[in-house]
A and B are shown apart, each in its own frame.
Chain A
């Protein structure tokens, strides 16, 4: 019984770790962001700037929010696996097992058994992207609508793609750029670089455009409401009645559906790019050759 109570206290602490970062982030926003007049579509608000070599580092809403997302995911993981046992007796264990099995299956079927250790990375992309996009539901600035955030992930993916391509040897990798004829080299190089750029722009553009459209529609509805219903007396005339309803449906699409979709697409593209870039046969051939050389030596 005493142990039970202790476990419950730990549970509550972990839920707090999951929720509090967002509360903190919202408080920060409420405190630091003045109510704007009219509409403004800008990037993330800069809280302060740290001088750094090469270029200064502005600490923005998206930076703070993505840090909060990291903390929140840590809390979620700890909460889901707290008190995990061989015989499951909690719903959250079933949820945790479901997540692990689904991601592992996705990775195994899309990337092959060689990349089965990639499951946490793919799950990490999904979680961080989904949490970042969904944080807009709380009125926060979604970090995924900041290009720097998504570009960081895309560059990491690009590094991994290149790393696994190089496993087939440096010469075949370089040779790959001159195929089918050497004239194609510039296009091949552009195509290679386009991968992270397209990945990051796709994700960031989707979330940002959703935000822009939502803002524009909300503003338009407000204006329309003033024009049509302005004759109503007192407060009723000021209240933007038309803003009720439609923005909610748009939010349902842009914030929830689009956010989750982009997270899934980003993760799926990562699996496909890494596994198709990896020359498995070449790699195994080289490995066998090296082993043989080691034996003869």
Chain B
């Protein structure tokens, strides 16, 4: 079998055209099966990444605003609590003062009433005692000087005497 070979330098139009077509086919193959696919994936990934970044930024903003809101709310709550305590203290003080004042007023009123009662009782007692003493004295005196002494004359005298005694007592 004789081996037929080309010369080292040989030019053949058809071979050149076939080679040219091969390069075009390879270009098409790379474009269709490598570049388009990979670039589609790359763009999809880019979109996904930017989407994730956007979401992260959004949630971070939301968290920051929520935090601010909480802080504001906390501060207002604290203020409110302070106000409540203050008003409670003031009210309690006022109420205490009022109660104290009422109590002292009542006490003084009671004391006054008691004093009045005591004074009245003393007066009544004194009147009773005076009358009894005068009756007693008149009785004794009438018994002692039954005849000579006119009850009418001596009553005034005894009364005067007792009044003096009562005043002295």
Chain A residues in contact with chain B, CB under 8 A?
Answer: 33-34, 36, 40-46, 52, 54-55, 57-58, 60, 62-63, 66-67, 69-70, 73-74, 77-78, 80-81, 84-87, 93, 96-97, 99-101, 104, 119-121, 123-125, 127-128, 143, 146-153, 155-156, 208
Contact = CB atoms under 8 A, between A and B. Distances in A.
Contacts of B5: 40, 42-46
Contacts of B14: 52, 54-55, 57
A128 B23 contact: yes
A120 B3 contact: no
Contact of B34 (A57, A77, A121, A153): A77
A75 to B, nearest CB: 10
B56 to A, nearest CB: 17
Interface residues of B, number: 41
Contacts of A120: 27-28, 30-31, 34-35
DSSP class of A's interface residues: helix, strand, loop or mixed? Answer: helix
A86 B30 contact: no
A66 B13 contact: no
Interface in B1-52: 1, 3-31, 33-35, 37-39, 41-42, 44-45, 48
A41 B5 CA distance: 10
B33 to A, nearest CB: 4
Contacts of A57: 12, 14-15, 18
7 contacts: A40-B5, A87-B45, A96-B38, A120-B34, A146-B15, A151-B19, A152-B16
A124 B26 contact: yes
B26 A127 contact: yes
A41 B8 CA distance: 8
Contacts of B22: 66-67, 69-70, 128, 149, 152
A151 B15 CA distance: 9
A127 B30 contact: yes
Contact of B45 (A54, A86, A101): A86
B53 to A, nearest CB: 15
Contacts of B38: 81, 84, 96-97, 99-100
A287 B132 CA distance: 149
Given A66-B22, A70-B26, A81 B11 contact: no
Contacts, number: 151
A154 to B, nearest CB: 9
B73 to A, nearest CB: 41
Nearest to A74: B29
Contacts of A34: 1, 3
B20 A43 contact: no
A77 B13 contact: no
A135 B20 CA distance: 19
A156 B24 contact: yes
Contact of A60 (B6, B27, B34): B6
B16 A77 contact: no
A121 B20 CA distance: 12
B24 A84 contact: no
B131 to A, nearest CB: 124
Nearest to A128: B26
A123 B30 contact: yes
B6 A73 contact: no
A84 B12 contact: no
Contacts of B48: 86
Nearest to A41: B8
The 7 closest A-B pairs by CB, nearest first: A152-B19, A43-B6, A120-B31, A148-B15, A152-B20, A42-B5, A124-B27
Given A55-B14, A120-B35, A149-B15, A42 B6 contact: yes
Contact of B23 (A104, A146, A147, A152): A152
Contact of A153 (B3, B20, B29, B37): B20
Contacts of B24: 156
